[in-house]
Amino acid sequence: MTVALPRPEYPRPEYPRPDHDRSDRWAPLNGTWELDLPDATVPVVVPFAWETAASGVARTWLEHATYRRSVTVPAEWSGSRVLLCFGAVHHRAVVRLDGAVLAEHVGGSTPFEVDVTEVLPPGRSGVLEVEVDAPADKRSIPHGKQRSIPRDDYDGVSFTPTSGIWQSVWMEPRGRTYAAAVELRGDSLVGFDVTVRVTGDAPRGTAVALDVADGSDAHEHLDLTTDDDGVARGRVELVTPQRWSPQDPHLYTVAVRTAPGPGVPAEDATSDVVRVTGGLRRIETRGEALFLNDERLYVTGVLDQGYWPASGLTAPDDAALVADLELARDLGYTLVRKHIKLEDPRWLHHADRMGMLVWAEPPAPSRFSEAAAAAFEAQLEPMVRRDGNHPSIVIWGLYNEEWGLDWDIPGSPERAAAAARAYDLLRTLDTTRPVVDNSGWSHVRTDLVDWHYYDEDPAAWASNLAALAAGTLEEFPVRLGPDFVVDKSFYGSAEHPRTGVPILNSEYGAGFTSLERAWHLRWQTQELRRHDRFAGYVYTELTDVEHEMAGLLDADRRPKDLGGLDPRDVNAPTTLVLDLVPRHAGADITVPDGPFSLDVHVSHHGTAPVLGRVRAAWVADGTPLHEAPPVPDAESEPVKAEPFTLSEAARLTIPSPGAVSAARLHVWLVDDDEHVRARTFVDAAPVEEPNRRGARRAT
């Protein structure tokens, strides 16, 4: 049963772990608590960080505070173990009940639990306190995009800190002997490999029963017994296995029932049940390609930092988590890279349910030391334990752009060793997913060679991508500061293999205004699609965050003016690649005064070839591509696009648009059934020279 709290109603009322479900009996502890500050005691709304408006406190650079509220264990929970659960508290938390210390936890993004069975009997109330230390100097602790004092090297892309309790808090009863962790791995595609870790009164020799349901009447059953370490392992074979995929995100529910255990008195014989979700899904690398469930996968991703204007890293409500996934999907993306943040488990569950692929990665420190590296590595086991069952997660990331490694893997054996050590640790924790050691550049030991590259010059972008794909170029310029530009390489050393590992872009984008960003999105993405060697891309980014205006949507999730561009056309499985280097946003070419030739290729990532013709027609400038014009001005000979192989060029001879100052050329591909399979456009207009009147120089 859910225990009601006094009004006002508490925020985030949903059960926090739908993937590890005990929601039949639980007590949410979100809502208004007291917060002891150095100079006052104020109300605070949990689970929102004390820097946020949603918390009611809105205090930045507060380094120490104590939360307080009264809690009562319901009388009907008698005979159970009672766990106090915290989703995340940044950074160090000391938990007390009636003044007595129960637990201490360090790590601002990982969950923890406190067994209060012996100190808070059913029916009795107690005063719960959570004392929090949140250092302003975050450089040596995992903190991701939170701003630090002293400033991080990457302060320009950091945001308001998130301190204190920032994910849900709740209590729940469990059996006297219970499943503390359940690991499901469905990469066999025919069943689940299961590991159950049992704790409580009698973890050894305890019976564990598993029932697998798929939403229908069919289910499978498995009986296990824990070993001397309290661990039970087994394999559930499914008679009619159904795979999880973005097209069919089929989820199974595994009910894990744990007996009270041998020797537990009959009056304490409360069993335990937890319902865990999982999917049959395999992600793997084969040479330089990615495969999902034995089918070639091209990553079409968008970077998402998971910030909201009034509530920081905590979503204002569950609907906001769902909405962000829907927005990404509606923009044509099939993967979200959740950027250096361990996101709310409910977001991951919604990704599972919706079929959105996820690239997951923890926050990192920003200055290297052995202690900082150890703190980073300490997150990995709880990260995998919490999130490893989600079929949506297909890539694990670790460090990002050598943050926490001082931008110096190539020049420091100690820093290179830290990246390799983190990779090795994560691979021991989970062998079922590719792992990226250091996203962006300077790879030491990795399953994917990913790279981050930002460039405002379309000609340089196109030529550099061609050289990177060919392997004749390994370095690209990276602006690390206003006066600090360096060449960064794919590889952290000469020993790293140059072939045989998938290569993909995981950050790109350019432009100051929304129109410029849409222009770069269109042309930069087509150049990524030009090169079959690349295994995908991740665009930066889904939404604006505070001062960072790189989003396809603003910080309030409102759409921007993209100049008639529909990102779904850019990200579609079948797209057009034009042999053209554009001149300027809104003016890809000058208005032609006569016929001209345009070569068009087809990039196709389906399972079967596409055969069709490319057409083009002039329309009024700014006209969106909702529908192809009924009468083309030009049509190509038939063109065939094989899966994952750029087609030969289809040549169009296009007439002049006439005596106009500007026009838009719609270009589209129709198959033999006259279905539009891909489309793009070219803007023809003059480029106005920038006005420099009024400029003055000191003499």
Give 381-440 as a DSSP string.
HHHHHHHTT-TTEEEEEEEETTTTTTT-STT-HHHHHHHHHHHHHHHHH-SSS-EEEEET
The alpha carbon of 95 is separated from its chain's Cα centroid by a whole number of angstroms, namely 30
pLDDT tens across 331-356, in order? 999 999 999 999 999 999 999 999 99
Residue 282 lies in a domain: no
Residue 350 lies in a domain: yes
80-104 in b/e burial notation, b at 16+ Cβ within 10 A?
bbbbbbbbbbbbbbbbbbeeeebbe
Q: Which long-range contacts (CB under 8 A, 24 or more apart) does 543-552 make?
A: 543/304, 543/305, 543/307, 543/324, 543/327, 545/145, 545/159, 545/305, 545/307, 546/159, 546/160, 546/307, 548/157, 548/159, 550/509, 550/517, 552/302, 552/331, 552/517, 552/521
Q: Compute the distance between CA of residue 587 and CA of residue 197 in angstroms, rounded to an integer.
A: 62
Residue 581 lies in a domain: yes
Give the end of a domain, one of 269, 284, 313: 269
Q: Compute the distance between CA of residue 627 and CA of residue 180 in angstroms, rounded to an integer.
A: 55
Q: Do 487 and 610 reside in the same domain of the chain?
A: no
In degrees, to the nearest 5, what angle opens at C-alpha 348 toward C-alphas 347 and 349? 90
Q: Compute the distance between CA of residue 86 and CA of residue 67 in angstroms, rounded to an integer.
A: 13
| Helix or strand (DSSP H, E) at 568 | helix 567-570
In degrees, to the nearest 5, what angle opens at C-alpha 594 toward C-alphas 592 and 597? 80
Q: Compute the distance between CA of residue 145 and CA of residue 142 in angstroms, rounded to an integer.
A: 10
Q: Do 50 and 100 reside in the same domain of the chain?
A: yes
pTM: 0.95
Q: Compute the distance between CA of residue 299 and CA of residue 24 in angstroms, rounded to an integer.
A: 38
Q: Do 121 and 184 reside in the same domain of the chain?
A: no
> How is residue 266 annotated by DSSP?
G
Q: How many CB atoms neighbour CB 229 within 10 A? A: 10
Q: How far is CA 207 from CA 83, 195, 197, 258, 260, in A?
A: 22, 13, 12, 6, 8
Q: Which long-range contacts (CB under 8 A, 24 or more apart) does 223-229 make?
A: 224/194, 224/196, 226/196, 226/198, 228/204, 229/203, 229/204
Residue 125 has a pLDDT of 94
Residue 216 has a pLDDT of 56
Q: Which is it for the CA torsion 582, 583, 588, 589, positive or negative?
A: negative
> How is residue 649 annotated by DSSP?
P
Query: Across the strands, what pairs with 681?
Result: 666
Give the end of a domain, one of 138, 156, 172: 172
Q: Compute the distance between CA of residue 644 and CA of residue 201 in angstroms, rounded to an integer.
A: 56
Containing domain of residue 232, as a range?
A: 177-269
Residue 553 lies in a domain: yes
Q: How many CB atoms neighbour CB 545 within 10 A? A: 23
Residue 696 has a pLDDT of 78
Q: Do 628 and 487 reside in the same domain of the chain?
A: no
HSE value, Cβ hemisphere, 13 Å, CA-based, for 699: 0
Q: How far is CA 688 from CA 277, 581, 586, 587, 692, in A?
A: 58, 18, 11, 10, 12
Q: Compute the distance between CA of residue 593 and CA of residue 262 in angstroms, rounded to an integer.
A: 89
Q: Do 207 and 167 reside in the same domain of the chain?
A: no
Q: Encoding tokens for residue 431?
A: 């062998």
pLDDT tens across 346-403, in order? 999 999 999 999 999 999 999 999 999 999 999 999 999 999 999 999 999 999 999 9
Q: How far is CA 515 from CA 564, 672, 689, in A?
A: 9, 34, 18
Strands 650-654 and 503-507: unpaired
Q: Compute the distance between CA of residue 16 and CA of residue 316 in angstroms, rounded to an integer.
A: 14
Q: How many CB atoms neighbour CB 32 within 10 A? A: 17
Q: What's phi and psi for 614, nearest 5 deg?
A: -95, 135
Give the CATH number of the domain where residue 37 resides.
Answer: 2.60.120.260
Query: Across the strands, what pairs with 132?
Result: 65, 93
Q: Do 161 and 190 reside in the same domain of the chain?
A: no
pLDDT tens across 90-114, in order? 999 999 999 999 999 999 999 999 9
Residue 472 lies in a domain: yes
Strands 639-641 and 610-620: antiparallel
**CA nearest to 278, candidates 249, 307, 303, 300:** 249
Residue 1 has a pLDDT of 37
> How is residue 691 annotated by DSSP?
P
Give the CATH number of the domain where residue 626 resides.
Answer: 2.60.40.10
Residue 698 has a pLDDT of 61
**CA nearest to 529, candidates 601, 468, 454:** 601
596-604 sheet: strands from edge to edge: 574-578, 596-604, 650-654
Based on the structure, what is the number of domains in the chain?
Answer: 4
| Helix or strand (DSSP H, E) at 345 | helix 345-354
Residue 4 has a pLDDT of 41
Q: Do 331 and 445 reside in the same domain of the chain?
A: yes
Q: Using an 8 Å Cβ cutoff, are 82 and 116 in contact?
A: yes
Strands 100-106 and 169-174: unpaired
pLDDT tens across 293-326, in order? 999 999 999 999 999 999 999 999 999 999 999 9
Q: Compute the distance between CA of residue 499 and CA of residue 471 in angstroms, rounded to an integer.
A: 9
**CA nearest to 632, candidates 593, 584, 603, 600:** 600
HSE value, Cβ hemisphere, 13 Å, CA-based, for 192: 34
Residue 37 lies in a domain: yes
Q: Do 49 and 145 reside in the same domain of the chain?
A: yes
Residue 167 lies in a domain: yes
Q: Do 215 and 151 reside in the same domain of the chain?
A: no
Q: Do 31 and 135 reside in the same domain of the chain?
A: yes
Residue 322 lies in a domain: yes
609: Cβ–Cβ under 8 A, 6 or more apart, which residues?
A: 640, 641, 642, 643
The answer to whether the bond into 91 is cis (omega within 30° of 0) is yes
pLDDT < 50: residue spans in the chain? 1-8, 217
**CA nearest to 577, candidates 503, 678, 464, 509:** 678
Give the end of a domain, one of 145, 172, 199: 172
Q: What is the chain's Cα-based Rg?
A: 28
Rama region for 552: left / alpha / beta (φ>0; ψ in -120 to 50; rest): alpha
Q: Do 168 and 192 reside in the same domain of the chain?
A: no
Q: Do 352 and 446 reside in the same domain of the chain?
A: yes
